[in-house]
Structure formats: C-alpha cells, structure tokens
Amino acid sequence: MKTTFNIRYIPVLSLVAAIVTVLAVAFRGAPAQGGAATEAQRLVAILQYVGQDYPPAVASNDSAELAEQRSLAADAVALAGRAPGAAPFASRVVSIGARVGQGADPAGVSADCASLVDDLVAATGIARTPATAPDLAEGERVFGKTCATCHGATGAGDGPAAAALNPRPASFRSSAVMEPLSPFRAYSAIRFGVKGTAMPSFETLEESQRWALAFYVFSLRQPACDHAPPRVSLDALANRSDADLAEAFGAREVPCLRRTMPEIDAPALLAAARARVEEAARVSARGDESGAERIVLDAYLADIEPAEPWLRARAPEALTQIEGSFTTTRAALHAGDPGARDDAVRLAALIDRAASAGARARTTKGSAFWLALLVIVREGFEAAVIVAALLAVLKKRKQLSRARLVHAGWTSAIAAGAVAFLLGHKALAGAMNEKVEGCVAFVAAAMLLYAALWINARATTRRTMGDLRERTSGALASGAFALFAVSFLAVFRESFETAVFLEALSIDAPSSVAWGAFAGAALLLVLVMAVSSMGLRLPMQTLFKASTVVLVATAVVLVGQGIHAFQAVGLLQAHAIPFVRIDFLGIYPDRLGVLAQVALAAAPLLWKALGPSIPGLPSGAKPAE
C-alpha cells in the first residue's frame, strides 16, 4: 500500500520545526552561569565571614578559632584563583590570607574584606538583593521546618539538637550576633553553610526561600511594629545591618523596617537598574565584557522586570525603548563590540528618563482590542455554524425534542472554555515574566496556525458538516449522552482555542482584551440573530477565508513577540538589523524575529501554491473541497 504525504501539513510542520529550533537554540544559548556564579558567591560568603569573625578570634587568641579563620582564608585564596571574574582581585585575597595566617592586622583584614566583597559583587554581577520583597510568612514556615531543630522555635539557639553541637547554634535574639550582620550575609550562610560549625548548606532551597529565611531571622528579636516604616529600598534592607539602619533612621524604626517588607518601589528599582548599568559600563571599560553582560542581564531581571507593570501603565514608550536598548547593549557586549560602553551609557540615560516619564500610549491597547474582537467573532461564528448544523440534522429527522441536549452541550463547552481561561490566567498571573510570555505566545501561534490552515480552514466546510451529520445520526441511535457529547466536543475546541488566544493577547493589555471580547460577543450575537431570525445569507466561504487570514496574521504577530520576549531575558541572542519597529505587530529590528515572521507569513502562500499538486487528487482538483 502506497502512503502519500499531505503537502497541506507543510506550514504547520514548518511552524513546529521553527519553534523546536528556537527553543533548542534558546536553551543551548542560555548563559551557563550556575557554576561560575556559585564559586564567586562562595568566595564572597567566605570573605564576609572572615571580615566579621577574624578580629574577635585575634582578640580572644583562641587557637581553634584562629585555625578556622586560617582554613577559611586558604579556601578564599584557592577560590580566587579559579572563580571567573575574581582573577583581578587574587592578589588582594592573597594579602588577606597572609595576614590571617600570621594572626596580624585584624582591623585591616576586616576593612579589606568588606571592600573586596563590594568590588567582587560589582565585577561578577552577583545579585545581593532579592528580586522581589521576601515573604516573611514563607520564611517562618521554612525556619520551622529546617532551622528550629538547632536554633529553637524562637531562634534563641536552644533547639532540641543544640546541646549536642559544638559550637552551639547562633541565637538570632542576641544583639552581639545580629548587630553586625546583614540579610545578605545571612543569605550567604544559608546557601553555603558555615565551615567549622554544624550549619549546613541549604542550596536545595529555592532562591526566594533562602531570601525569605534570611530576612525572617532578622525579625525574630524585634518587637511588634506599631507604625509605618520609613521608605527604604530593598537593596538597603538586604545589605545594611541593624546597627546601620539604627544609625541612619533611628533605633525606633528598626523593628518596623525588619518586620514590614517594602512594596515594590518602581522608581527605586529603576534607580538600582541605572546603577547596575553604569557599573556595567565601568566593567566593560576594564575589558571584562562577559562580566558587564552579566550585570546588564541582572539589571533587567532583578530591577526592570519587577517594575515592568508600573512602566507599562505610565511610560509604555519608554519601556519599549529600554527593552530595545537592553537587547542592543547585551548583544554588543556579547560580541565584544568597542561601542558597547556607549550603548550602556545610552541605556542608563533611557532608564533615568523613564523614571520620570508619564506618557501613555494606546497602540498596544488598540491592537489588543481589535484582535480580541476578531478572535471572538471568528471562533464564535465557527462554533455557531457547528451548533446550527447539529440542530438542522435534528430538525430534518423530526427530533426537535432533543435540541435541549445540543444546547446543554454547547453552553457547557463555552463555560468550560471560560474556566480554562480563568484557571490559566490565575496560574500565570503570579509568575508572568518574559519567559512565560514567550512560551504562551509560541503555543498560541501554533494553535492559530493549526486552526487556520487545515482543521478550520473552511474550504472544508462541506466535509465538516458531513462529518457532523454522521456523528449526530450515530448519537441519535446511541442515546442522550452521546448527543450531548457531540455538541460539547464540537464546540469545546473552539472555546478552548479562544481561551488560549485571549490569554496570549491579555499579557500586555488585559482591560483592552476584555473590552474587545465583549464587543466581539455583541457583534457575534447580532450576526447569529441576522442569520437565524432575518434569514440573512452570508458568503460563508469568503468569511472563513478572510478569518483564516486574520488567524495567520495574529500567529505572525505572536511569533515575533515570543522571540522578542526570549531575547529580552537572554534565552535567545539578539542580532540587530536596520529595520522598522512596530510593537503591536510584533515587528522588531532583529534578524531572527524578522526572518521567522517572513517565513511564517509565506507558509500559507506556499500551501496554497502547492495544494493542487497534492498526491492523490485528480488533475485540476482543489484540496479539501
């Protein structure tokens, strides 16, 4: 038996291949910074520990503690020789190690460790501030599960296992222990453990859990907060000790600063992003392009991403410029372009202007409105045609008493689609970022093309109606549930597709999508009433072909936006080209994005051109008629 390949599958297979290629390149090209970042962070953690504990060890002349400090200093010297980005500072680490080995210069060692930590963080791009405000309730839960056995339920260092440990677990209620510490120092200890003690590494915890735990232990010794704390950036809270906060804001404010996490402060985040970008320019000027690229990426992920909703609402044009400049700057740094430093300077200026911008553009909202309207009308009208075909079969067979089963089926399908949209929106809303946006865009584009090019291209209208008549006839013979199932399944696909499409469109302008969907539903109702009550005859083939063009065009837009989202977070490398930028069409001046959109837009033309040559069709026949 000879098997032939249906050429109509080419466009869809092309999209699938493109998406697979994009994802493969994305995750292959994603920066593999895990090991490098870990070694640099471990070096920072050791220097923090030595800087604080070496002077007391010298003062006490405790041989065991001095031996521990020498061991840690030796580890720091070894790490400085292999941690990427640390080589320029190796001589300073060696100097610290030599003095620790001799038990000399405790004040100088402490000051040099603090200075070196700052320089290492700046040079290697280590994030020493959480991306979002830590959840103290989550910190309390993690503390009870992982820390209370040793440190005690109240953090006093009196847990059930404490008596058997030497040295004893630290008391987080002790001023002597906590005053010099910062949450960043606590975070480092949580991540890497403390050598020479029973404090283990908790690298299996999620990043957000480690930060939540680090901030929580600072709240344990503080009394209840009875007023609103002063405005302090998350960066300051993470890197200042209680003593520093008391000196800057007064001792009365410390309890509230430690017990009340700040809300996302978009201007502060933008200021932090600007500072990181300026630091990246300095690092680039020293010849460390890879280090500068990491700092720029951190600025985007840690500062711009959390502030994106604020920017989108108040300065969408500035947000567009910032995103494009981030992509250009990172691409220049990655390529070692001598002009990368100038790109970083321009990016810093854009961030500075965005912090005070108040303009609001309507382009994205307008396009989202019309696309949502067209999707509702297109998919809804298709579902209406299916229901009408089912009811026509029942009328012809004089089984109108069973029409209620059809109505129950399609209304249930629409309700199920609405639930799918709400569940998807709820699941994604808390973690919506550029990666998720890109994935949703690609999935929606694939479904759009799938719907447009063969399953729902209504050149197959007569064939589809024939299939529905056959299934309805079988359902009449099988019973009530079967008829309900035919109606439900026939409409649920349209409902589910609509939910996915609207989810993708609502990422940037949810209110506009809601109004577009409402307007589309109203227009759809008018069309259905005109056809059913007034006997209006519509050019069905023309309508379905036009709607297919709309679906393909929307898929092209979403593919462009998906690629741009992946480039924004470093999963895809950007390649800037001289081209127009039209955000609401997903068109960006990037080689990969433009080529992908051109290829996708050309796929239906290729399908139509090759359609008459599909194997197995008579000469001159048209496919799917």
CATH number of the domain that residue 187 is part of = 1.10.760.10
Domain count, the chain: 4
Residue 215 CA to residue 136 CA, distance in Å, equals 7
Is the pLDDT reported for residue 358 higher than 60?
no
Residue 471 belongs to what H/E stretch? helix 461-478
Shared domain check, 315 and 181: no
Q: Which stretch of 79-83, 357-361, 385-389, 394-398 has the lowest confidence by average pLDDT?
A: 357-361
Domain boundary residue, one of 124, 158, 174: 124
3-state secondary structure of 277: helix
- Burial class, 328, CB count within 10 angstroms (exposed 0-12 / middle 13-18 / buried 19+): buried
CA angle 81, 84, 90 (to 5 degrees): 35
Question: Residue type for 406, please?
Answer: V
Q: Among 180-194, 366-380, 503-517, name the one with the lowest average pLDDT.
A: 503-517
- Is residue 556 domain-resident? no
Q: Map tokens 């056995």 to a residue.
A: 149
Q: What is the pLDDT of residue 100?
A: 93
For residues 26 and 19, what is the distance between their CA atoms, to the nearest angstrom?
10
Q: How many residues does the chain have?
A: 625
> 500 and 384, same structural domain?
yes
Instruction: Give the domain range for residue 252.
Output: 136-259
Q: For residues 74 and 204, state if they share a domain.
A: no
Residue 141 — pLDDT band, cuts 50, 70, 90? very high
Among 22-26, 285-289, 305-309, 316-320, which range has the highest average pLDDT? 285-289
pLDDT in tens, 295-352: 888 888 778 877 777 777 667 777 878 888 888 888 888 888 888 888 888 888 788 7
- Domain ends where: 539, 557, 576? 539
Kindly state the tokens that stand for 499: 């939910």
Among the listed residues 611, 459, 449, 452, the one whose alpha carbon sits nearest the alpha carbon of residue 540: 459
Judge residue 145's burial from the number of C-beta atoms within 10 Å of its C-beta, 0-12 exposed, 13-18 middle, 19 or more buried: exposed
- The CB density around residue 261, as the number of other CB atoms within 10 Å, is 19
Q: 303 is written with which tokens?
A: 């500062």
In a domain, 561, yes or no: no
Q: Compute the distance between CA of residue 524 and CA of residue 126 in angstroms, rounded to an integer.
A: 54
Q: How many CA atoms lie within 13 A of 287 on its CB side?
A: 2
pLDDT of residue 1: 42
> Is 573 a domain residue?
no
Q: Tell me if residue 576 falls in helix, strand or coil.
A: strand
Q: Report the range of poorest mean pLDDT among 112-116, 119-123, 433-437.
A: 433-437
| Domain contains 104 | yes
Task: Compare 27 and 342 and report the one with higher pLDDT.
Answer: 342
Q: Is residue 324 part of a domain?
A: yes
Category of 312 on φ-ψ map: left (φ > 0), alpha (ψ -120 to 50) or beta: alpha
> Is the residue at 6 inside a domain?
no
Please tell me the predicted confidence (pLDDT) of residue 149: 92
The tally of CA atoms less than 13 A away on the side-chain side of residue 153 is 0
Q: CA 577, CA 588: separation in Å to the nearest integer?
A: 9
Tell me the pLDDT tens digit for each residue of 4-21.
444 444 444 444 444 444
Do 403 and 530 reside in the same domain of the chain?
yes
- Residue 307: burial class (beta carbons within 10 Å; 0-12, 13-18, 19+): buried
Same domain, 399 and 530: yes
Cβ–Cβ under 8 Å, residues 383 and 416: no
Mean pLDDT over 56-82 rounds to 88
Q: What is the pLDDT of residue 393?
A: 66
- Same domain? For 347 and 374 the reply is no
Q: Which two tokens stand for residue 468?
A: 């529905």
- pTM for the whole structure: 0.45
Rg over alpha carbons for the chain, rounded to the nearest Å, is 31
Mean pLDDT in residue range 383-397: 70
* Residue 321 forms part of a structural domain: yes
Same domain, 308 and 246: no
Residues 6+ apart with CB under 8 A from 135: 208, 212, 261
- Amino acid symbol at 149: T
Task: Give residue 95's pLDDT.
Answer: 93
Cα–Cα separations (whole angstroms), residue 184 to 46, 134, 192: 13, 12, 12
Q: Judge if 290 and 413 occupy the same domain.
A: no
Task: Mark whether 431 and 532 lie in a shared domain.
Answer: yes
| Sign, Cα dihedral of 532, 533, 539, 544 | negative
Angle between helices 183-192 and 207-219 (to 10 degrees): 130
Residue where a domain stops, chosen among 485, 512, 539:
539
Q: What is the mean pLDDT of the chain?
A: 74
Q: H or E stretch including 312? A: helix 305-314
CA separation for the pair 575, 579 (Å, rounded) = 11
Does residue 599 belong to any structural domain of this protein?
A: no
Cα–Cα distance measured from residue 457 to residue 624, given in angstroms and rounded to the nearest whole number: 9
Assess whether 189 and 253 both reside in one domain: yes
Q: In the beta sheet, which residues pair with residue 582? A: 587
Which of 206-220, 245-259, 297-311, 426-440 is the least confident region? 426-440
CA-to-CA dists, residue 317 to 235, 345, 363, 610, angstroms = 27, 19, 10, 42
Same domain, 241 and 278: no
pLDDT tens figures, 416-474: 777 766 665 555 444 345 566 667 667 767 766 665 654 444 444 455 555 555 555 55
Q: Apex CA 460: angle with CA 459 and CA 463, to 5°?
A: 145
84 within 8 A of 40, measured Cβ to Cβ: yes
Does residue 39 share a domain with residue 114? yes
CA distance 163 to 142: 22
Please classify residue 440 by burial: count the beta carbons closer than 10 Å to its beta carbon, then call 0-12 exposed, 13-18 middle and 19+ buried: buried
- Can you give the pLDDT at residue 189? 87
